[in-house]
């Protein structure tokens, strides 16, 4: 039997990938606009466009990555003030709108009251389960720490909701290349244990622009599925 490539990326023609990246960067250099914050499900915008969510522990580099992908200096941070961390923030891309980015509330913050954690879990789980327009989630993992038990909990929520997700290592500039290779291998090994996880893990640095173009192309591709 012919051996199957185990990664979707290997099946993509490099020329197509380059074209996709160019299209993505053109799209992101146009209209990107904050739409609204939803502190509870009843405040969600109508699910009229495809959505790509960004999730991860607080401080993992979520806002920085959204800013890097959209080529804005502070679009994600502008709407997320410290007291409003338990909200889903929606951004629109394209004119007319092509898709939305969703900045999900961070998790794993130290010493959070139980009630806050429970609210987070309910909001996130209900959103993942019920959001028909949600095409993909980018789950950010700090390259310095690798996948932690709280991240595995999040991965299980995504598996159970059958929401496909890509693992994205952040802050790769902060560690040596050999350590990046090691955390990439262990993260890929973890991804293989999860039904809804992509086998290919992205390596990024918002600070240095590493992996941003590829991620942009992936976001666009996922939004168009």
Ligand X SMILES: Nc1nc2c(ncn2[C@@H]2O[C@H](COP(=O)(O)OP(=O)(O)O)[C@@H](O)[C@H]2O)c(=O)[nH]1
Interface residues toward Mg ion, by CB under 5 A:
62-63
When the beta carbons of 75 and 158 are compared against ligand X, the nearer one is 75
Residue whose Cβ sits closest to Mg ion? 63
What's the farthest any 2 CA atoms get from each other in the chain?
Answer: 57
Using an 8 Å Cβ cutoff, are 32 and 21 in contact? no
d(CA 119, CA 117): 5
Taking CB under 6 A as the rule, does residue 174 contact ligand X? yes
When the beta carbons of 146 and 199 are compared against ligand X, the nearer one is 146
Q: Distance between alpha carbon 59 and the CA centroid of its chain, in Å?
A: 14
Select from 37-45, 54-62, 86-94, 121-129 the region that touches ligand X (CB under 6 A).
Answer: 54-62
When the beta carbons of 103 and 214 are compared against Mg ion, the nearer one is 103
Least distance (Å) between residue 163 CB and ligand X: 19
d(CA 225, CA 149): 30
Q: Which residues pair with 210 in a beta bridge?
A: 205
The single-letter DSSP state of residue 58 is T
Of positions 63, 79, 89, 187, contacts ligand X by CB under 6 A = 63
Rounded to 10 degrees, the C-alpha dihedral 80/201/24/31 comes to -10
Binding mask 97-136 for ligand X (x = CB under 6 A): ---------x------------------------------
Least distance (Å) between residue 133 CB and ligand X: 23
Select from 20-28, 93-101, 184-192, 203-211 the region that touches ligand X (CB under 6 A).
Answer: 203-211
Select from 53-61, 91-99, 127-135, 214-222 the region that touches ligand X (CB under 6 A).
Answer: 53-61
- Which of 57, 38, 20, 1 lies closest to 170 in space, CA to CA? 57
Using an 8 Å Cβ cutoff, are 145 and 172 in contact? no
Using an 8 Å Cβ cutoff, are 161 and 126 in contact? no
Least distance (Å) between residue 181 CB and ligand X: 17
> Interface residues with ligand X (CB under 6 A)?
56, 58-64, 106, 170-171, 173-174, 205-207
């Amino acid at each position: 039997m012919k051996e199957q490539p185990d990664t979707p990326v290997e099946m993509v023609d490099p020329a197509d990938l380059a074209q996709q990246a160019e299209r993505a960067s053109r799209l992101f250099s146009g209209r990107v606009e904050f739409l609204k914050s939803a502190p509870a499900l009843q405040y969600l915008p109508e699910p009229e466009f495809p959505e790509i969510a960004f999730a991860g522990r607080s401080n993992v580099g979520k806002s920085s990555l959204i800013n890097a992908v959209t080529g804005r200096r502070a679009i994600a941070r502008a709407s997320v003030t410290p007291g409003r961390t338990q909200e889903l923030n929606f951004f629109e891309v394209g004119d007319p709108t092509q898709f939305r980015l969703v900045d999900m509330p961070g998790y794993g913050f130290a010493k959070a009251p139980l009630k806050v954690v429970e609210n987070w879990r309910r909001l996130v789980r209900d959103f993942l389960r019920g959001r028909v327009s949600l095409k993909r989630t980018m789950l950010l993992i700090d390259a310095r720490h690798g996948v932690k038990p709280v991240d595995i909990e999040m991965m299980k929520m995504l598996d159970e909701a059958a929401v496909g997700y890509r693992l994205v290592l952040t802050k790769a500039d902060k560690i040596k290349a050999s350590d990046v290779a090691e955390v990439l291998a262990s993260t890929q090994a973890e991804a293989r244990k999860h039904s809804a996880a992509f086998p290919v893990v992205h390596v990024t640095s918002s600070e240095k622009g590493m992996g941003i173009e590829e991620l942009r192309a992936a976001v666009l591709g996922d939004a168009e599925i």
